A = this chain, B = another copy of it.
């Protein structure tokens, strides 16, 4: 019942080091080959010394070593590929499923693609090149050609016999794909159905013919959405003419989802995505980083100059009461924070389908209410803080009232913008957070100075 927790991983790591130091390489090999490739990858990655890392890696049988290479992080994979002799790298890549090789060549060592392909067996290299022709982040890049092909006239008993033969050549047998002579997909039958059907049943009688499939060009997000929606273990990749190319398996979909999470956070803070999104931190050229970030920053910068115009409008009031400017960052900061909270709440509601477009009025009513309550609470704190800062009650009331109105306003706008984006089928995460902050900054200032002008009689 071993669970590989962090503690156990550290114990394993200590054991590995003891065996290395005592020179017990045979014992080390036995220890390592009993572990899961993911765990070995983590141990290898944690080794700081390049030489020691190579020594551990050299102990692993070729197949296992290849799996470990695939499981390692981008940076460690790069280092290891740089350090290993090139014929060994070729052998390792040849032993991996070709979709994993395509992943390594795209994400980990993009600048050495051609060189590494030349080290591989021509057949394998050609297969990888086939995958690399598809757009980045498309189903074609993730699919494996090693799926279980069967013909519809096989019986359940014959299928089981046949699976014993092809077992080593396919990645998964959870779903079997019924293919005709020219590789066109006829239907899908699950291993479960095959095993539990009477032995003489023909596959054509139990297969599902309404198969959900994707094109090789389909974006990874759409692939993940379909697999999540229908609880699939794999989804076939099929050409428009019906010929089947491969499958994307659920473990790849999970990797995609983990990647998407962090992409959404990046989009949410205004870093543009695009095809460079999948490149790891250290391999992305710094000018590409600048390009991806500058567009948004410039747009926000230009929008933010609006605040300057608002302030110029109230130049007279500002020179009369300099203390008014002390509270500018506080007021627009609070507005921005409140707005960002609402935006993310609504984005979540939309993503989990808890909120539908027809709920728009209810959502806005609700956010208006909670904005008012939050504004009341913060306004109270604001009044207290302003008095403690030595301003009079009159001035403190300006700050308190402004906080209340700005919070309510930010909350309302913060719920409206993602709903509008959703209505026009724009991903709300892209447009909402920085946009709302900028909007709230300018309008919040106008609210503040109008209240000040009236209450202070400027």
Which residues of A are at the interface with B, using a C-beta cutoff of 8 A? 1-4, 34, 36, 38, 45, 48, 73-75, 160, 163-164, 167, 172-174, 185, 191-192, 195-196, 210-214, 227-231, 233, 238, 242, 250-251, 253-255, 257-266, 268-271, 280-282, 286, 289-290, 293-294, 296-298, 300-301, 304-305, 307-308, 311-312, 315, 318-319, 322, 325-330, 332-334, 336-338, 340-341, 343-349, 351-356, 358-359, 362-363, 366, 369-370, 373-374, 377-378, 381-382, 385, 389, 429, 433-434, 437-438, 441-442, 445
Contact = CB atoms under 8 A, between A and B. Distances in A.
A263 B268 CA distance: 13
B373 A290 contact: yes
A413 to B, nearest CB: 14
Contacts of A191: 191-192, 195
A265 B308 contact: no
A269 B381 contact: no
A336 B353 CA distance: 31
20 contacts: A75-B355, A174-B174, A233-B233, A253-B254, A254-B254, A257-B257, A265-B429, A266-B341, A266-B344, A280-B349, A282-B362, A286-B370, A289-B345, A290-B370, A290-B377, A304-B334, A308-B329, A319-B319, A328-B329, A333-B438
Given A228-B251, A308-B330, 8 more contacts: A1-B210, A4-B212, A191-B191, A250-B250, A263-B348, A265-B347, A268-B269, A301-B334
A242 B330 contact: no
